[in-house]
Amino acid sequence: MNFIAPRNPIPRLTDAEVAEIRGRKDAVRASLACEGMYLDAEDEALLEDLLQERVTPEEGERRIVEWFHARQSRKVPAAS
């Protein structure tokens, strides 16, 4: 008999967790603005994508760091 182990499902946010995060968006924007930081359309799109995919905070953090590094590398002019 062949036994195939079930795949571990990728943890996802619940409807309640997504609603809580969406409910805090304005407060987060205000907090960032107090520090002189503002989200541009690209930032907002990334965060919305993460919510749509319902990724966990840990996965979201990993992807944000990757995205930030890629964004920074696009801004840095190549050394001559």
Whole-number Cα distances in Å, 51 to 15, 16, 41, 54, 57? 10, 12, 15, 5, 10
Distance of CA 30 to the CA centre of its chain: 18
Taking only the tens place, the pLDDT of each residue in 2-57 is 666 556 677 899 999 999 999 999 999 999 999 999 999 999 999 999 999 999 98
Taking only the tens place, the pLDDT of each residue in 68-79 is 999 888 876 666
The model carries a pTM of 0.71
Name residue 59's amino acid.
E
